[in-house]
Amino acid sequence: MWDGKKKAVTFSFDDGVTQDIRLIEIFNKYDLKGTFNLNSELLGLDGTLFRNGRTVRHDKIQADRVKEIYKGHEVAAHTLTHPLLPSLSEEEIIRQVETDRQNLSRLCGYEVVTMAYPCGGENNDDRVAEIIKNNTGIKLARTITSTHDFKAQENLFRFNPSVYYVDERLDEIVDKFLSIESSEPMLLYIWGHSYEMDAEYISWEKFEEVCKRLSNHDDIFYGTNKEVIL
Q: Indicate the average pLDDT of the chain.
A: 97
Per-residue pLDDT at 182:
86
The pLDDT confidence band at residue 93, using thresholds 50, 70 and 90, is: very high
Model confidence pLDDT, tens digit, residues 127-160: 999 999 999 999 999 999 999 999 999 999 999 9
pLDDT value for 34: 98
Dist CA 51 CA 121 (whole Å) = 17
Q: What is the pLDDT of residues 50-86, one digit of tens each?
A: 999 999 999 999 999 999 999 999 999 999 999 999 9
The mean pLDDT value for 105-133 works out to 97
DSSP state letter for 3: G
Q: 2-229, what's its fold? A: TIM Barrel (3.20.20)
For the whole model, what pTM was predicted?
Answer: 0.98
Mean pLDDT of 92-103: 98
Helix, strand, or coil here: 191? strand
Q: Are 213 and 190 in contact (CB under 8 A)?
A: no
Residue 26's alpha-carbon distances to 7, 33, 34, 114, 215, in angstroms, are 21, 10, 11, 23, 11
Number of other CB atoms surrounding residue 203 within 10 Å: 11
CB atoms within 10 A of CB 167: 17
Closest CA to 115 of 157, 76, 146: 76
Give residue 1's pLDDT: 82
Phi-psi region of 32 (alpha: psi -120 to 50; beta: other; left: phi over 0): beta
Q: What is the pLDDT of residue 28?
A: 98
The pLDDT assigned to 30 comes to 98
Q: Mean pLDDT across the stretch 181-199?
A: 96
Q: How is the chain split into domains, by residue range? A: 2-229
